[in-house]
A and B are shown apart, each in its own frame.
Chain A
Amino acid sequence: MSDYGEMKWSVRVSARDRDGVAVYARKKRFDVGSPLAFDVEEEATSAFEYMLGAIGADLAAGMKELCHRRRLEVDNVEAFVEGELDNPLAHLGVVGEEGHPGLSSLAVKVFVETLEEEDDIRKVWDEMLERSPLYRTFSAIARFDMRLQIAM
């Protein structure tokens, strides 16, 4: 750990309401529903969906920001993130099921809209992955299929 390793980030989570929880981060608040949503009609965003969103946001925002710093003009960056659990039935406590409800794989496609040279964009992509906190965390614990697609 570096000398800066003691820097920490924190959120406060309150489950006062029956349906879901409120998360307070710095001076902001956002609401989270159940750990995992099986109902497409469920209104609240689940904790698992927030996690997928956080991974996509880390990559898309990281890519956009780093391209800007390298003076590469990018119109848009989009990430499509798909996560698979080892066995979602384990989360429901189904008697007799094997496995666990933890993450088993992640598939991420990142689309970059730009007129810049592909090689330049790919260099930034590699650097961004090196520097991405969430990519570095999740690629160590789950199968991580990453694809970059550059659209002119």
Chain B
Amino acid sequence: MTKPIILGAVLYDPKVSVIWDIIREYFEDNGVPMDVVFFTNYELQVESLMNGHIDIAWNSPLAWVDTERRANNGCRAIAMRDTDRDRCSHIIVKKASGIASPADLKGKTIAFGAKDSPQARLIPIQMLHEHGLKAGEDYTAKRFDVLVGKHGDHIGGELDAFKALEAGEVDASCLLDLNWEAWTKDGTINTAEYDIVATTDHFDHCNFTVLDSFDTDREKAFLEALFAMDYGNPDHKEMMDLEGLKKWEPGRTSGYGPLTTGCELISYFEGR
């Protein structure tokens, strides 16, 4: 029997296990036996990847940066969703606030998502720095630490940040572009009252990470099965909809610069 590939994933909700059950079955049916190990946070998952307890990690962007740092670049991002590419985050304000540019945020209170959220804290910090606003000096940060350890996978922190803006407790809040789109569509955010005042550079989100020591034949088998998923195939569509993609793309690492810089600016890994 072929040795199963052991894949790690972080669960913030038991319902997410259903998606991984379907994906695991798909790989099994395509001759690539796979075991999925769930973790309660990304730190444990990265630790397990480094120790060789898992072969592939479905990593958040921050977990990728952490792995790269700990492995001294001896790791690879082998695949990602089309929707992981070229994301951005926004900082939004009330239209009536008179805040019209990033510079106007000086001296204001900004609501961020969880401590470890790339999209709702670390990357916006980097963007604000580019506009001359230093963390801890030029604005007051109010953090919404929902499910720390899950790297902002859970939208709760971003939603709480927006609610603080809505309640007038803060002057601005940070959120991922996909959440802006979803919440303006479902009425959570009224675009007549709120506006985007700043947008980050594009960045990439999750990826499948392996260490350089991962067997190339097993990696090839995994990727062949993964890239064979076809959104036009009704049998694959449900699985891809659940995972939020239309196409698997090769992994790339060019989209993690803003996050790496954001982490460096606040010495994230040293102070964690």
Residues on A lying within 8 angstroms of B by beta carbon are: 38-39, 88-89, 91-97
Contacts and interface: CB of A to CB of B under 8 A. Distances in A.
Interface residues of B, number: 13
19 contacts: A38-B15, A38-B17, A38-B18, A39-B18, A88-B14, A89-B38, A92-B14, A93-B38, A94-B11, A94-B39, A94-B40, A95-B37, A95-B39, A95-B40, A95-B44, A95-B45, A96-B40, A96-B44, A97-B40
Contacts of B37: 93, 95
Given A38-B14, A89-B11, A89-B14, 7 more contacts: A38-B18, A39-B18, A91-B14, A92-B14, A92-B17, A92-B38, A95-B37
B20 to A, nearest CB: 9
B261 interface: no
A93 B14 CA distance: 11
B15 A39 contact: yes
B48 to A, nearest CB: 7
Contacts of B17: 38, 92
Contacts of B41: 96
Main secondary structure of the interface of B (DSSP, over half): mixed
Contacts, number: 34
Interface of B: 11, 14-15, 17-18, 37-41, 44-45, 48
A96 B39 contact: yes
Name the residue in A38, A39, A88, A94 with the highest tally of chain B Cβ atoms < 10 Å from its Cβ.
A94
Contacts of A97: 40
B266 to A, nearest CB: 25
Nearest to A95: B39
Nearest to A41: B18
Contacts of B14: 38, 88-89, 91-92
Contacts of A93: 37-38
A35 to B, nearest CB: 12
Contacts of B48: 95
- Most chain B CB neighbours (cut-off 10 Å) among A92, A95, A96, A97: A95
A85 to B, nearest CB: 9
A90 to B, nearest CB: 10
Contacts of B45: 95
Contacts of A94: 11, 38-40
A96 B38 CA distance: 9
Contacts of B40: 89, 94-97
B46 to A, nearest CB: 12
Contacts of A88: 14
